[in-house]
Structure 1
Amino acid sequence: MIFWGLLFLDLNKPGLLGIFIGLGYTFYSSFIIRCFVEEEHIKLKIIKFIGPTIYVLLSLYTQKISLYSLISPINMAFFIFCIALFSKDKFPKKEVQFFVVAFIYLYSFSIYNVWDKGMRVNARNNYDFEIQAKSINRKIPDLSHYQFLNSDLDSIHLSGKDEYIIIETWNEKCIPCFKAMAGMNDFYKNIAAKAKQYYVYIPVKKTVNYDKVFAFDKIEDKSSILIDINLQDDALLNQYPVFLVFDKEGTLVFSQVGYKESAKKDLQKGILSVLD
C-alpha cells in the first residue's frame, strides 16, 4: 500500500517507468507475501483485500466517473492485484507472467498516456470554468506585512519604496498559472522600469522541493521566484494565480484573481492604469 501511495497517488507523478514498476510490484508482491505463510487461508486473503479496496473506493469517491477514470492507475493496479490474489499457485506460471507483464507494459507506456491526457483536459476545463477573473473587494494588509523565502531560503520582506511591486502567485499544478507566465512575460519586461515583478510560489504540501521551485522551467527570470510564507493565509486568498500590485507606499492598488488568455489585454491595461 505504501508503493501505491508513492507511485500512483503522488501529485508529482512517478513517470511511465514508475507506473510500470508499481504495477509489476503489485503483481509479484502477492506471491512474495504468500511465501511467508504455510497456507494462505481465506482470512489472510480478506486482510490483503482490505487495503486495495479502500484505495479503489476513495478513488471512485474523489473522481468523477468517466471512461478515463475506469483506466486510472489505481483501477489497473486493483485488477492486477485480483489476478494475483485469486491465483492458487505459489508462484505464477510462465504464461501467466507473460500475459500480465505484457499488459503492464502496454498500459504503462500507452494506455496510461491516454488516461493522463484525458485527466489533464478535464482538469483544465473545470479550472477555467470555475475560476473567473475578478478583483479583491476587501482590504488586505500592506506589502510590508508579508514574508517570503528567497533562493537562499532567507525570510525577506518586499519593499515598494522606490518602485511598484507586482506579485503573481503560482503553483506547479495550476494550468492557468502556466498560461499567465507565458502570456505576461513580455509585458513585465516592458514595464520593468516602473515595477518589479515577482512569481510567488504557493506551497500545497508540507514539504517543498526548493530546488525545483527556484529552477522552474516555465519562469524565464529565476531571480524573480519567491516562496510564500504568509501571503496566501493572511490575505485570505484561496485560489491562484492572483495578481497583486502594490504602490510605492506598499498599499494594494490593483488585484485580480484568476487568468484568462482572452482577457489578457484587460489585465495589462488594469496594471498600467495604476502605475505612474
Structure 2
Amino acid sequence: TVTSEEAQSLFEMAAAKFQEVAALALFNWGNVHMCAARKRIPLDESSPKEIMSAQLRTAYDWVLEMYALAGHRYEEALNIKQDFYEGLLALGQQHFETAKLHWSFALADKVDLSTWDSSETLKLFDSAEEKMRAATEMWEKVEEQRMLELKTPGATEKDEVLKKRKKQHSADGQGELTPEEAAEQAAVMRQQIHLFWGNMLFERSQVEFKLVVGDWKKNLDASVERFKLAGASESDISTVLKNHFSNAVSESEEKKVMPSGTGSSQTSDNIDDESVVES
C-alpha cells in the first residue's frame, strides 16, 4: 500500500527520477543554445573597415547572447539537482567558451592588447577551471558509489528497492551494467575530462603569453600533462605545441637572425588558437 515502508522508498525513487529528468531537460536546452552559437554569421571582407567592424560586433553580441542563455539553463539545472555534475561541467565549458569568445573578438577587432581590459576574460578562465575541478570531484564520488553498489550487491537494507531500480533501468532500455562495463565508461569519462581540462589550460596559456600576464609556461606544461593523461599521441601533442603563440614568436626571431637561403621552414601568420588534440 501507499503507506508502507516499501512504498515510501519507491516514492523517493520516483521523486529522484523526476528531478533527474527535469535537470536533464534544462541541460539539453542549454546544449541547444551552445550548438546554435556555432552558426557562422557571414562577414563581407570587401566592405569598408567601419562596416566590417559593425558586422563583427553584431556577430559577437549574438554568440555572446546564446552563450548566456545556455549558462542560464545550466544554472537552472543545478538549482534543481545540486549533484548534477554534467550540468556543472557544461557550465564550466560555457565559461571557457565565453572567455575564448572575448579573446577571439579582441584579436579579430585588432584592439591594442597593451590597453585591453582582460580582467573579465581571465576571471572566466578561473571560473571555468573551478567548475571543472568541482564537477570532477562530484563525478568521482558518484562513480565511487556506483562501483561500490555494483561490487557489493545485497550489502544494504534496500536490496528490494535496488532490484526494482535495476528492473526499471532494464525497462528503460538502459540495461544493467557489469562492473567491467562501468569501469570502461568511467575510463572514457575520465579521458574526456582530462582532454577538456588540457584544452582549457592551453587556451589560457595562449592568452597569458600574448598579454604578458600570469605564468603561461606553467599552464602550457599543465595542459600537456592533461593531454597525456587523456591518451593523446605524442604527434598530436607536438602539433598543439607548434601552434602555440610562443613558438610562432620563437620561429619569427630565428628568421630575423638567419641569413637568407638557409632553407628555414615557413610559419603561417594565421595561427589557429584552437587546440587540435582530439579524443
Give the TM bin, normalised by the shorter chain: under 0.3
Higher relative contact order (CA 8 A, sep 6+): 1
Which has a greater percent of helix? 2
Greater strand share, structure number: 1
